[in-house]
Structure 1
Amino acid sequence: MKLVAFASLSSLAVAVVLPQQPQQFTLLAPTSHSHSPSLFSLLPDLESTLSSLPSSHSSQLAQHLAALPEKRLIQLTEDGDILQLTEGEKSLLVYHRVNFIDVTHHRASPTRVQPKSPYPTNFKHSASSLNSTFNHISIPKMQDFLSKFTAFYTRYYRSPSGKESQKFLLGHLNEIHEKTNKKANVSISEFEHSWGQNSIIVRMEPREEKMGEEPVVILSAHQDSTNSLPFLRAPGADDDGSGTTVLLSIFEALLAGKFVPTTNPLEFHFYSAEEGGMLGSGAISRSYADQGRQVRAVYHTDVVAFVKKGTEPRIGVISDNVDQDLTEFMRRVIGEFAEIPYVDTKCGYACSDHSSWQKLSYPSSCLSEGRFEDSNTHMHSAQDTTELEEFSWEHMRQFARVGVAVAGELAGLERE
């Protein structure tokens, strides 16, 4: 694996105002004596793309590139080269729908002993025994929260409204705890990041204090959103307001059912900056590795609301770049506790935050709305809203059922 430094696009892309002509980007290809390849080699249609932008967008993009010159390291494939570009230039990868992980601070995980316990083949609970808890999964509450969450202009992790949306989410979590079961042994904390929008970790402690050192069970989603360009409106209803809302529903259902973990601590992670290359989940997973913390399982949900017209509702089980034993367990959970079947699908390298955990050899899984090729085509646009005909609250409810069951089986949930 080698380091490849891109010639900085910030110095190659300049906004030029011509008399009575729209503003546009003029891109200068690297000179013949340059030893650094440019983004042209990765994005061959970059010049035509930028030159076709509306003048207002090209001006804003130029400002964005100039404002974020910090050098970053990214990776596009598991064993691919490490590429260097600026923080601002990452937005061009998003614009061209190129998946990547920001590995600037990644390092090989420290040596740690984490025996891999097998996942249950016989379930402690059944769908009927959890039915009263499933009844606490409220679609009206989902609708109320997501209508407010998508009202922020964008949840882009470096934007003022991205920080405001995170504070709103934090307040909502505290409100759920206070109003549903304030006696529950729950901590809600921010994991701080330099870019302003913090990740949030909700932890439910086991009944016995000594069990708090057992491997943690993590349910996760990402809270941020983006448009194809970071300064445009990004309601992010499906990506990933849907996953965030599902996690809230699971948390509230467990509190309402007065469940408490008995074998393993249970955490809910709401990651910042997934759209920036898994920055939030990367920072948290590295922190856990540095502390020698063990993880029983990561169940990640990303885009879980869209059912393409003409297809049957199915839960998409991501089968690549995941822990295969945990993923097989997820298939069994879906078969037992969901009311719709699953379908295996692949999303490629760096498609969501479970990648951060898998990269450090923690067992992770990811569920999505169906087959990858049937996914919501309105993601990363102003049209990613709950008003889409194919946006399904009932589909989201199925993922919440799965989450309740995963928590019940792996964290040993029992009623207080």
Structure 2
Amino acid sequence: MIFVLLFIGLAAALPLFGQQYRLISLRPNELTKVTEAEWWRLKQQNTQFLDLTGRYPTLLEPMREGQSVSVTLEKPVIVYNYPNGSEFHEKEVNSLLTDIDPSKIQGTLEELSSFKSRYYKSEKYLDSSIWVYSKLLGYALGRENYNLTVVNHEKFPQSSYILRIKGTNNSVETPTIVLGAHIDSMNLVLPSFLPAPGADDDGSGVVTLLETLRIVTEHGLSFPNDIEFHFYAAEEGGMLGSLDIFNAYFLQKKVVAMLQQDMTGYAAKSLRKGQPEHFGLITDYTSPYLNEFLRQVIETYCRIPVFETACGYPCSDHYSAHMNGFPAGMVAEAQREYWNPYVHTTGDTIDKLSMLHIAEHVKLCLGYVYELGEYSF
């Protein structure tokens, strides 16, 4: 077993927090200079953006407030082939699915959402991050093929975590399969003071990954390809944690697939509106080839249907991978119009979620890990 402490430092001439202005990206390949007050106004309106202040500090000073400039942010996404349904290992995967335990999912999520907040900028909420680390450490201890990496970020105290199951493929460039979720939560009114249980956003995604990891570990599985479980800090701050990681991965890793699990537990609105319980397959800023594979995994291993939906720019941490040229996808709890309306408030609590719905996401993740872990890229 190897433990690595990784510090990612971005060359920044100005502090990311506490400065008067920030550089954000509200649309692809464009940066806009905004005040911190405008930054918070956009957040409170649930406007999605990337915060790239730390990445482009030299652009900040000469720009005018409200000015936008064109910058090539997106790299061409590499195209890979993926297995089709006729190649799936149905017997092996189905044997894993029987071990999914909704009671374990609930217990884990109850623990995670019991912390007052997981706000990435506040040191007083780091106990929740330590809890995630301790869970991952429990899996990594005593297993030589498990590497646990702590990613410390330069501009905020919350860390990201990467648990890698090393592949048996001894090639120079082993393909890497990534599963991601974000560990932070945020109350948009007074984030430093008010509770943000974040049971769905994104506690549900975190426990989806933890339950997948539990089953993979208890079965003693290893694969030819590397499998990485990513737990990102500061998604609510503009994808800050995942941007640091995938910026560092560019030209260093062969990431052949990244699947984000962000909000996987809320099905009530779909059912209330007369819709079937379903997955929402994000079709914008994702890989259509990976999406087709994900659709086949769902149709093969899950009991609920999948419907396409758009999320907008940049949506969630999968965009950090997409921006750096890695094929990425996201499958959410439903089509966007049926998403949880309580996120970013004190009302994002576990009582509103379905553990059986989260279990369907675990099925997806187990199929994703097994089929891509075994595939020859």
Alignment TM-score, normalising by the size of structure 1: 0.76
CA separation of 1:236 and 1:287: change in aligned 2, threshold 3 A: same
Cα contact 1:108–1:360 (8 A) shared by 2: no
2:44 is aligned to 95
1:275 is aligned to 236
1:132 is aligned to 95
Matches of residues 193-342 of structure 1 in structure 2 within 5 Å?
Answer: 193-194=153-154, 195-208=156-169, 210-211=170-171, 213-229=173-189, 230-231=191-192, 232-262=194-224, 264-289=225-250, 291-307=251-267, 308=269, 309-310=271-272, 311-342=275-306
CA separation of 1:154 and 1:258: change in aligned 2, threshold 3 A: same
Measured after TM superposition, the shift of residue 395 of structure 1 is 0.6
Measured after TM superposition, the shift of residue 279 of structure 1 is 0.3
1:191 is aligned to 151
Measured after TM superposition, the shift of residue 153 of structure 1 is 1.1
Cα contact 2:28–2:74 (8 A) shared by 1: no
Measured after TM superposition, the shift of residue 70 of structure 1 is 5.5
Q: Tell me, yes or no, if structure 1 residue 76 matches structure 2 residue 58.
A: no
Q: Distance in 1 between matches of 2:108 and 2:314?
A: 28
Q: Quick one: which amino acid aligns to residue 322 of structure 2?
A: Q
Unaligned runs of 5+ in 2: 1-16, 57-70
Q: Quick one: which amino acid aligns to residue 292 of structure 2?
A: E
Give aligned-pair identity as a percent: 31
Q: Distance in 1 between matches of 2:208 and 2:237?
A: 22
Match of residue 121, structure 2, among 122, 141, 158 = 158
1:42 is aligned to none
Measured after TM superposition, the shift of residue 126 of structure 1 is 4.0
Three-state SS of the structure 2 residue aligned to 1:377 is coil
Q: Distance in 2 between matches of 1:70 and 1:269?
A: 32
Cα contact 1:238–1:305 (8 A) shared by 2: yes
Cα contact 2:75–2:325 (8 A) shared by 1: no
Alignment TM-score, normalising by the size of structure 2: 0.84
Q: Distance in 2 between matches of 1:299 and 1:271?
A: 13
Q: Quick one: which amino acid aligns to residue 75 of structure 1?
A: S
CA separation of 1:278 and 1:88: change in aligned 2, threshold 3 A: farther
Cα contact 1:184–1:255 (8 A) shared by 2: no
Q: Quick one: which amino acid aligns to residue 335 of structure 1?
A: E
Q: Quick one: which amino acid aligns to residue 297 of structure 1?
A: A
Q: CA RMSD in A?
A: 2.2
Between the two structures, name the one with larger relative contact order (CA 8 Å, sep ≥ 6): 2
Q: Distance in 1 between matches of 2:18 and 2:362?
A: 38
1:400 is aligned to 362
Measured after TM superposition, the shift of residue 346 of structure 1 is 0.7
Measured after TM superposition, the shift of residue 122 of structure 1 is 3.9
Matches of residues 62-73 of structure 1 in structure 2 within 5 Å?
Answer: 68-69=18-19, 71-73=21-23
1:118 is aligned to 81
Three-state SS of the structure 1 residue aligned to 2:320 is helix
Cα contact 1:153–1:161 (8 A) shared by 2: no
For the pair shown, which has the larger CA radius of gyration, 1 or 2? Answer: 1
Measured after TM superposition, the shift of residue 296 of structure 1 is 0.6
Unaligned runs of 5+ in 1: 1-66
Cα contact 1:206–1:212 (8 A) shared by 2: no
Cα contact 1:219–1:268 (8 A) shared by 2: yes
CA separation of 1:375 and 1:111: change in aligned 2, threshold 3 A: closer
Q: Tell me, yes or no, if structure 1 residue 142 matches structure 2 residue 105.
A: yes
Q: Quick one: which amino acid aligns to residue 199 of structure 2?
A: A
Q: Quick one: which amino acid aligns to residue 368 of structure 1?
A: A
Cα contact 1:211–1:265 (8 A) shared by 2: no
2:62 is aligned to none
Q: Quick one: which amino acid aligns to residue 95 of structure 1?
A: Q
CA separation of 1:78 and 1:312: change in aligned 2, threshold 3 A: same
CA separation of 1:328 and 1:161: change in aligned 2, threshold 3 A: farther
Cα contact 2:140–2:147 (8 A) shared by 1: no
